[in-house]
A and B are shown apart, each in its own frame.
Chain A
């Protein structure tokens, strides 16, 4: 199993952060898009590492033109010697239309077209195919030699897609090289909803599971002593409650028979009762979402529960000593 670790947005610190993650044994480095450009940290990371994958997790696809992302993807993949993975997510309608001033409609269909448009652009650049992409949402029919990259040694980056619902998951299976599963997921939901949707996507494209990577962060509750474990338990319960208040994630709660909790959490969130919300997540629910235990048990638990499903994880366990983290990474990457 591959193990990914995140880097921050502070560009003057990214070089040492990235080199340190590589030295700790991580397989990949992730950059998120919140209040900064998500690609700059990965260019700096590319220059300060030799081995690790470099991945956005995620960049907001619909905030950009497929041509812009095709170009960024090409450049980062070339600069990293083929180590870049363009991880994309849809965001939600208000952010696309009111924050980015970009069009939003039927997200799964639009995302499918977005990725196919990038692939058409790359086929033009890298294989010399004519660019004649005319879709429902995107049109790319003009390309000249002047605007075509010439450093084609490493070609297109891999494209991963973040998905929760079955439609977006199926699109990932069909047109992406990997799926980024939301941390707010249960083993049951993974097996009963996610995997079948991916299989439908693979079938459409004539792909096999072996052509594809499944990335799943996995919530981890651990600590070096009782106090730390209790703190981590409380933090993850609140995080689960926060996600559980989102209407779109109700099917995940349904998977463990707790669907009615969504409305209750939603109502409490509007009153700002975050601490109380966490108290509604009992021990059984916590175990359904998170791997819980002492540091030396974590890797084994992740492998036994998810080892047959996932290819890479970005589980976080920042509260335990470095040597324990390195040990977890070593155990996970050995399988």
Chain B
């Protein structure tokens, strides 16, 4: 299993962060898109590292034209000598229409088209295929030599999609090179919903599971002493409660027979009772979402539970000691 870690958006700190990530033994670094551009840190990460794989996890796809994403993906992949992966997510309708002032349609269908549009653009640039992409959401029919990148050595980046529901997951299986499973997932949900949807998508495209990389970052509760362990446990219970209050994630709670909890958590979230919400997450529920144990137990348990379907993880390990963390990373990579 490969292991990734996140880097921040503080551009002046990227050089030190990627050097630390390399010396800790991570395979790759990832950025999220929140209040900053998600690509700038990866440009600097490419400059300051030689081996690390670089990915967005995730950039908001529908906030951008497929042409812009094709261009950014090309440039970062060329500059990093083939180390870039474009991780995309849909966000939700209010953010696309009211924050980004962009179009929102049927998200799985729109995402499928956006990825195919980028692939059509790349096929034009790298293989000289005519650009004649006419879809429901996107049309790309004009390209001239002046706008075609010259440096084609490394070609297109990998494209991976973040998905929760079965339709977006199936699209990932069909058109993407991998997917990012949401941390708010349980093994029963992944086995009953996610993996079959990926298989349907792969079958549509005539591809094998080996062509596809699954990234899953399960939650982890651990610590070097009672105090660290208790702090991690409280934080993860609150995080589970926060996600559990979201109507779209009810299916995940149902997978472990606690679907009723969603309504209760949702009502409490509207009253701002965040701390109290965490107390509703019992040890049984916690164990479904998180690997809980001594630092030395974390990697073996992750491999035992998720190793059969997880190719890479960016799980975070709440231990205060670097050598403990290094040991977990090394054990996961060996497994």
Contacts and interface: CB of A to CB of B under 8 A. Distances in A.
Interface stretch (A34-42, A175-183, A321-329): A34-42
Given A40-B43, A139-B101, A63 B75 contact: no
A68 B64 contact: yes
A139 B97 contact: yes
For A64, A68, A74, A78, the residue with the greatest tally of chain B CB atoms inside 10 Å of its CB is A68
B101 A140 contact: yes
B35 A140 contact: no
Given A34-B146, A35-B150, A36-B75, A72 B37 contact: yes
A76 B37 CA distance: 10
B41 to A, nearest CB: 10
B35 A36 contact: no
Contacts of B68: 37, 63-64, 100
Contact of B67 (A34, A72, A101, A138): A101
B148 interface: yes
B63 interface: yes
B205 to A, nearest CB: 23
B139 A146 contact: no
A283 interface: no
Nearest to A98: B142
B285 to A, nearest CB: 26
A141 B98 contact: yes
6 contacts: A39-B40, A65-B63, A67-B63, A67-B100, A75-B40, A147-B99
Contact of A63 (B34, B65, B74): B65
Interface in A61-88: 63-68, 71-72, 74-76, 78-79
Interface in B128-177: 138-143, 146-151
Contact of A99 (B9, B44, B75, B143): B143
Nearest to A114: B101
Given A34-B146, A35-B147, A101 B99 contact: no
A11 interface: yes
A318 interface: no
A217 to B, nearest CB: 18
B67 A40 contact: no
Nearest to B81: A12
B43 A64 contact: no
A72 B64 CA distance: 13
For B63, B97, B100, B149, the residue with the greatest tally of chain A CB atoms inside 10 Å of its CB is B100
A148 B35 contact: yes
Given A12-B79, A40-B75, A98-B142, A149 B35 contact: yes
Contact of B139 (A75, A78, A101): A101
Given A67-B63, A99-B67, A146-B34, 19 more contacts: A12-B79, A35-B148, A37-B75, A40-B76, A40-B79, A43-B40, A43-B43, A43-B44, A44-B43, A44-B47, A65-B64, A75-B37, A99-B147, A101-B139, A138-B101, A140-B98, A140-B101, A142-B98, A148-B35
Interface in A88-143: 94-95, 97-102, 117, 138-143
